[in-house]
Chains A and B, each alone.
Chain A
Amino acid sequence: MAADVVMPQMGESIFEGTITKWLKKPGDKVERDEPLFEISTDKVDAEIPSPSAGVLKEIKVKEGQTVPINTVVASIDAAGSAAAAPAQPSAPAPAPAPKAETPKPTAAPAPQPAASKPGPVPVPSPQAPAPPAAAAASAPAKEGARIHSSPLVRRMAKEHGIDLSTVPGTGAGGRISKQDMEAAIAGGGGVPSPFEPAEEPAYSAPTPPPQAARPAVVPPPPPAYAPAAASPAGHGTQYIPSLQTGVPRERLYFGNYEVEPLSTMRLKIAEHMVASKHVSPHVYSVDEIDMSKVAALRAKSKDEFEKQYGTKLTFMPFFVKAVVAGLRAFPTLNASLDGTNVVLHKEINVGIAVALDWGLIVPVIKNADEKNILGIQRTMNDLAERARSKKLRPEEVQEGTFSITNPGVFGGLFGLPVISQPNVGILGLGAIEKRPVVINDSIAIRSMCYVTLSYDHRVVDGAVAHQFLHKVKETLETWSSPLV
C-alpha cells in the first residue's frame, strides 16, 4: 500500500514550497521521521521528515520545482515492494495556480554586499542536533495495511465476489477506484488511469491563459545561456516584477560571463527588498555612540561569563537592551502600518539579521524586553545556530516588531539597511573601533560605533528617530544594569 508524501504547510501564510533537495532516491528505504527532502519557502528552509516507513517508490516533484502545499511530491510503499512496483509516470497533483517554477537553488557561497549584511554572533555549538528518530522498528505487515476504497467499490466487490486485497489500486494514495474494479471484473490486471493528463509534464507546465496574455517580458535568450535541457526548469525567462532589469536584457550580455540561477532564498530576499523599498519611504539617521563603558564591562566579565554560562558574551545583547529601552520610550518605532491605521505592537520582538552562506534570514527574539543580557545572548545563539542548520521553525522568523543588522561585523563603518517588512524601523550597527574624540576640549581615545536608523517616514518622523537614537546612545553610554 503506497502512502502519499505531500508538501507540508510550514506556516499559516505559506501556500507553496520549493523542493531544494531530495535526500533519498527512489528505491531507498526510509524510516518514519527520517529526513526525506529539503524545502525552501518564503519564510524558512527546512528538512522534511518522512511521514511513514517503507521504500521511496516514486519522486513526483523534482528538485527546484515549486508546488502548492498539499501537493503530492512522492509516494512511499509501506510494504517495501519497490522493485515490483512499476515506476509509472504518475500524473502530478492538480495545479490551479499558474505558478512558474522557481530556479533551482545553487550552493554558490558567494559573499553578499555588506549593506544588508547582518551581524552573526559567533556561535559555539552547545547542543548537537538530535539525530533523526529512528522509529518504526518493524514495518507494518502487509495484512495490517488498510485497503482504501469507496462505497461504490465495496458494492461492486460484493456483487462480483471480488476480494479487494487482490485488486491493485491506481487512485490517489493507492486507492481502489471504479476503473480498477471494472478492470478486475473484466478479468484484466491493473488499468492505466484514464485521468492521466496526456502531456502535462509534472508541475513545470503552468496553465497558461492569464499569465501568457501578459505583455511578454520574454527577452531573447541570452547568448551563452545554457540550453533548456541543462537547466531543469528552463526558468531563464520567467517574469518576476521585482527582478526586472533596468535596461534591455541584451545589454547585460557581453564579453565573457557566466550565468547562475538565483536560489529560492535569494529570490525571496529580492522580492522582499523591492517590496519594502516600494512601500516604505526610507529615511536614514546616523548617530555615534561611545561604547567605552560597555566595552570595559564586557572585557572585564566575558571570561567569567563564558565559564559560568557556557556562552560567549558579545556586544549584541547590549544593543538589543538599548533598543528595547528606545522602543519603550518611542513606541511608534515598534509598529506596523496597515492602511490608515498604525498597529502599535505591545510585544517587543527584535529580529536579528543572520548572514548565511546561502543568503540571509532574520530570526526573532520574542519578548526581548523580558530578557536579561544572558537570556538574549542564549536566545540569539540558539536562533543563529539553527538558522545555519536549517532547523528554524516558521514562527521563529515571524512577528518581529523591529530589527537589528550588523554590517560592522564585517568591518563596515556604517550601513543603510532596508526595512524588514512589516516593521517601520531597522537599526544598523557599524564596527566598534577606537577613535580619537574630543572630550572637554581634550582629545581622548574611545571605543566608538556609528549606528544608523532606517525608518518608514509614513509613520516615523526625524524628530522621533533622533530621540530614539539618543535614547539608545544614552543607555549604552551610561550602562548600569547587571548582566544577569
Chain B
Amino acid sequence: MATAAKETGIKPAAATQVTFLEAIKQAMYEEMERDPAVVLIGEDIGVYGGAFKTSEGLLEKFGWERVIDTPISESAIVGAACGMSYLGLRPIAEMQFIDFIVCAFNQITNFVAKGHYLWNAPAPIVIRGPAGGGVHGGPFHSANPEMYFVHTPGLKVIYPSTPYDAKGLLKAAVRDNNPVLFFEHKFLYRRIKEELPAEDYTVPIGKAVVRREGKHLTIISYAAMMHTSLEAAAELAQEGIEAEVIDLRTLLPLDEETILTSLKKTNKCLVVHEDTKTGGIAGEIAAILCERAFADLDGPLMRVTALDTPVPYSPPLEEYFLPNKEKVLHAARQLAKY
C-alpha cells in the first residue's frame, strides 16, 4: 500500500486541489471500487446524494443495493450496518448530522463495541458524519459528541483536520476490522483544500502528527481547532514563543508517545479542543502527563475549550462559546511565561 506522500515527501504526479468534502467522497468511491463488500447506508444518501452531497453520484455508479437510503432512524441504520458486517459486508453508515448519533447510542455502545469481546465477532463498520460548530447550526446541528465514544472500549474514534488525512484515515477505517467512528468537522468541509496524491494511500489510525515544530510549549489539538492552533502558533512565533502543534487525528487509541515526546522537549502543554471542557480529551491528556511525565512538567496543563453549555444558536453567543485564536493566544502566553 502506498503510504502517505506527505510523510515520505514524495509528491504524486497528478495532484489536484480538493476540498475536505471531496476527499471524503473520493475515499468512499475508491473503497467501493476496490472492495465490493463496501456499502453505504444512511438517510438521503442515495437519490439526494447526502445532506452535504458527500455521496452524490454514488447511487448511479454502484446501484441501490450498495447505496441504501433508510428511514429516519439512526438506531436502525447502525443496527442494520452491524448485522450486515456480521454477514461479510463492510458498511459505511452516515449520520446526517453527528448530533443524532446518540439516537444509536445503545446499538453502538452495547452491540457494535462489545461484539468482539463477547462473541469474537468484531463489526467492521464505519459510522461517519458532519460534526462541530462555528456554522450557526444551533444546539442540534453543531455537536462534538466524540467523548461519549472515546469512553467506550471496543471502538476507534477518528477526527481529522485536513483533506489528506480525511481521505487516508477514512480508507484506513474502512479496511480496519474494528468499528470506527469517523467525525468530520463541517466547518472544514468547503473551507480548506489540499493536493491529494493520485495513487491509493492510507493514513495510519492511532498516529498523531506534529504540524509545527517548537520548543517553548506544546499545543495539542484536532479537527477545526487544529487550524486555530496553527494560526495562534504563527502569531506566537512573532513574539518569540515557539509553540509545537500536535494534531491528534485519532482520539482512540490515543497516540501517547507523540504527546510524551513533545512534552519532554517543551515541558509545557496546552490542549485546545472544540468539545466542552468537562470530560473532554484535555482532561485525559492531563492525567496521562501526570502519570507518565510528571517530572518533565514545567507548568500546569492548560485547556482552551468550549464552555460547558449546549452550543448556542445565537451567533454572538456561539462565538463567545467557542474557542478561538485570541483565547489560545491568551492561554499560550500565560503558559509560556509561567
Give the B-binding residues of A (Cβ under 8 A): 91, 93-98, 150-155, 171-172, 175, 177-178, 193-198, 200, 207
A278 to B246, CA, bound (A): 47
If A150-B299, A152-B267, A171-B337 touch, does A197 touch B240 (CB 8 Å cutoff)? yes
B80 at the interface (CB under 8 A from A): no
If A93-B334, A96-B327 touch, does A155 touch B241 (CB 8 Å cutoff)? no
**B240/A196 in contact, CB under 8 A:** yes
Question: From residue B212, how far is it (CB to closest CB) to chain A in Å?
Answer: 17
If A150-B298, A150-B299, A151-B296 touch, does A195 touch B337 (CB 8 Å cutoff)? yes
A207 to B329, CA, bound (A): 10
Q: Which of B239, B331, B334, B338 contacts A197 (CB 8 A)?
A: B239
Chain A minimum-CB-distance residue to B331: A94
CB-contacts of B284-319 with A (<8 A): 294-299
Question: From residue A279, how far is it (CB to closest CB) to chain B in Å?
Answer: 16
**A171/B297 in contact, CB under 8 A:** no
A152 to B265, CA, bound (A): 11
Chain B minimum-CB-distance residue to A68: B330
**A155/B295 in contact, CB under 8 A:** yes
Known: A94-B333, A151-B297, A194-B216. 9 other contacts (CB 8 A): A96-B326, A151-B295, A153-B298, A154-B295, A177-B338, A194-B240, A195-B337, A196-B240, A200-B239
A207 to B297, CA, bound (A): 30
Question: From residue A113, how far is it (CB to closest CB) to chain B in Å?
Answer: 34
Inter-chain contacts of A171 with B (CB < 8 A): 337-338
Inter-chain contacts of B216 with A (CB < 8 A): 194-195
CB-contacts of B229-243 with A (<8 A): 239-241
**What are 18 sample pairs from A and B whose C-beta atoms fall under 8 A apart?**
A93-B334, A93-B337, A94-B329, A150-B267, A150-B297, A151-B297, A152-B267, A152-B297, A172-B337, A172-B338, A175-B338, A177-B298, A178-B298, A194-B241, A195-B241, A197-B240, A198-B239, A200-B239
A94 to B331, CA, bound (A): 8
**A195/B240 in contact, CB under 8 A:** yes
**A178/B267 in contact, CB under 8 A:** yes
A151 to B264, CA, bound (A): 12
Number of interface residues of B (CB under 8 A): 22
Give the A-binding residues of B (Cβ under 8 A): 216, 239-241, 267, 294-299, 326-327, 329-334, 336-338
**A91/B298 in contact, CB under 8 A:** no
A175 to B297, CA, bound (A): 14
Q: Which of A96, A151, A172 contacts B329 (CB 8 A)?
A: A96
**B330/A96 in contact, CB under 8 A:** yes
Chain B minimum-CB-distance residue to A170: B337
Q: Which 6 A-B pairs give the minimum distances between C-beta atoms?
A: A94-B333, A96-B330, A152-B298, A96-B326, A197-B239, A155-B295
Residue with the greatest number of chain A CB neighbours at <10 A, chosen from B294, B298, B329, B336: B298
Q: Which of B240, B296, B326, B332 contacts A207 (CB 8 A)?
A: B326
Q: Which of A96, A152, A177, A196 contacts B295 (CB 8 A)?
A: A152
A172 to B300, CA, bound (A): 12
Chain A minimum-CB-distance residue to B296: A152
Q: Which of A95, A150, A193 contacts B337 (CB 8 A)?
A: A193
A98 to B331, CA, bound (A): 15
A158 to B134, CA, bound (A): 48
Question: From residue A175, how far is it (CB to closest CB) to chain B in Å?
Answer: 7
Inter-chain contacts of A178 with B (CB < 8 A): 267, 298
Question: From residue A331, how far is it (CB to closest CB) to chain B in Å?
Answer: 30
Inter-chain contacts of A207 with B (CB < 8 A): 326, 329
Question: From residue A286, how far is it (CB to closest CB) to chain B in Å?
Answer: 39
Chain B minimum-CB-distance residue to A176: B298
**B326/A97 in contact, CB under 8 A:** yes
Question: From residue A169, how far is it (CB to closest CB) to chain B in Å?
Answer: 11
Inter-chain contacts of B333 with A (CB < 8 A): 93-94, 195
Inter-chain contacts of A175 with B (CB < 8 A): 338
Question: From residue B21, how far is it (CB to closest CB) to chain A in Å?
Answer: 28
Inter-chain contacts of A93 with B (CB < 8 A): 333-334, 337
A107 to B49, CA, bound (A): 69
Chain B minimum-CB-distance residue to A193: B337
Chain B minimum-CB-distance residue to A178: B298
Chain B minimum-CB-distance residue to A194: B240
Chain A minimum-CB-distance residue to B264: A152
A34 to B329, CA, bound (A): 34
Question: From residue B149, how far is it (CB to closest CB) to chain A in Å?
Answer: 32
Q: Which of A151, A177, A195, A196 contacts B294 (CB 8 A)?
A: A151
Question: From residue B282, how far is it (CB to closest CB) to chain A in Å?
Answer: 18
Inter-chain contacts of A197 with B (CB < 8 A): 239-240
Inter-chain contacts of B334 with A (CB < 8 A): 93-94, 172
Chain A minimum-CB-distance residue to B330: A96
A174 to B296, CA, bound (A): 20
A91 to B331, CA, bound (A): 15
